[in-house]
Amino acid sequence: MTSHAFRMQLKPGVVDEYRRRHDEIWPELAEAISEAGIYDYSIFLDEQTLALFAVLKLRDDNNRDALPQREVMKRWWDYMAPLMEVEPGNRPKEWPLVPLFHLA
């Protein structure tokens, strides 16, 4: 098991909509994420900067790299693109976070 953390960026005025869409996450997307070996996935908001900080755990046998090819993932990115800074193809821009401390 490994942890992966990264930052994403919301656009101004969309926090409530971002939260609503995640509160209503599509069951087929949740299933695809789980099948990719991702679990215990949290996203935190810095209200001052609108930065999102995501932390997820990966099973040792994960296939997270295959997720971008899944049709449900592409549809989700298209759905979320108006709310976030994105790459071409609507994948959210991600900035990796470097682990500095962990207390287990």
**What residues have CB less than 8 Å from 31, skipping those under 6 apart?**
none
Residues involved in catalysis: 22
CB neighbourhood size of 10 (10 A): 20
- In angstroms, how far is CA 43 from the centroid of its own chain? 7
